[in-house]
Amino acid sequence: MLPVIFGLSGAHVTADEQSFFKDANPAGYILFARNIENPEQLRALTDSLRDLAGRDDLPILIDQEGGRIARLGPPHWRAWPAAAALVGVSDSPASSDLDRAIARVQCNYEALGLELAAMGINVTCAPVLDVPQPDAHDIIGDRAFAQTPEIVAKLGRACLAGLQLAGVAGVIKHIPGHGRALSDSHESLPRVAASERELAADCAPFIALADASMAMTAHVIYEAWDAEHCASVSTTVIQEQIRQHIGFDGLLISDDLDMKALSGDIPTRATAVLAAGCDIALNCWGRLEDMNGIAEQVPAMTAQASRRLVRARASLRLAQASPALNARIDELVARRE
């Protein structure tokens, strides 16, 4: 199996993609707005990917956080709130307020997860566990649940619990923390000059949720740990901080290889993130030339990564769209309010 998650070029698997994917046998796929037209088309697309792989538990990912990061939306799907808008508590809430926020988050993400499962999507790249700082770039902003690590961790746990009830896995991100970055890693390479003591706050939510099945790395340089390489391509950060200090032993996925924080051609970037210790390289854009180059250069998935992938797939399940399912989603949304 190829240790890569690939994107697709459009709303249907092309003949060239089908031939390539059949030979490459990637670990999974990720979908974007260009792949989505309506519920019938989307479910047919995800069914075709499972048929191609011969696995019902094939990971099919999407970025469906809510708010400004949502690939599914009206008129065919619900509009989901951003994490911060959903929570609506201060950073020092009364316990009853926090309990209500936890319940709202769990209801919201169970409902969101059921909507995804009905479309044949079984992994969403959420929750964001980054702890934003006041002077940071707003690429995180309202995608974060709160400004304090303790609340971020508790609400992130509620998000994962809700998704799990729907049979959908969450991907905690952006490990070990993107909240201090002064730039958007889609556009440039952020450098964080914080001390190890300061970075402890960034790591805290990830430590609390280190038992999550999947995580996504940050394309951010942390000078206190590795002044030369961003986390996604740093053996030091992945092994010493993510695996040992944070204690994460789930499936580690790189952030998108196409982001400008990384350098070199796309196959070289894929090789670099895997060599540093990521289990899976994430290639989102569905360009067949890049995908062929990756398949030619990267090694087969390691035995350890394969075991992590098997564990991550264990809880995935699909749903069928039906009046009963829609009623359950409506019930959860009403309880969230």
Backbone angles phi, psi at 39, to 5 degrees: -60, -40
CA distance 249 to 256: 21
Residue with tokens 């040992």: 244
Residue 107 DSSP SS3: helix
- Can you say how many angstroms the Cα of residue 28 is from the centroid of all Cα atoms in its chain? 13
186 a catalytic residue: yes
Mean pLDDT across the chain: 96
pLDDT digits (tens, 9 = 90+) for 144-158: 999 999 999 999 999
pLDDT digits (tens, 9 = 90+) for 306-336: 999 999 999 999 999 999 999 999 999 999 9
Catalytic residue, from 91, 186, 211, 330: name it: 186
Domains of the chain, each with CATH number or no CATH: 2-336 (3.20.20.300)
Catalytic residue, from 57, 63, 142, 255: name it: 255
Say if CB 5 and CB 253 are below 8 A apart.
yes
Amino acid at 279: D
pLDDT digits (tens, 9 = 90+) for 23-40: 999 999 999 999 999 999
Residue 69 DSSP SS3: strand
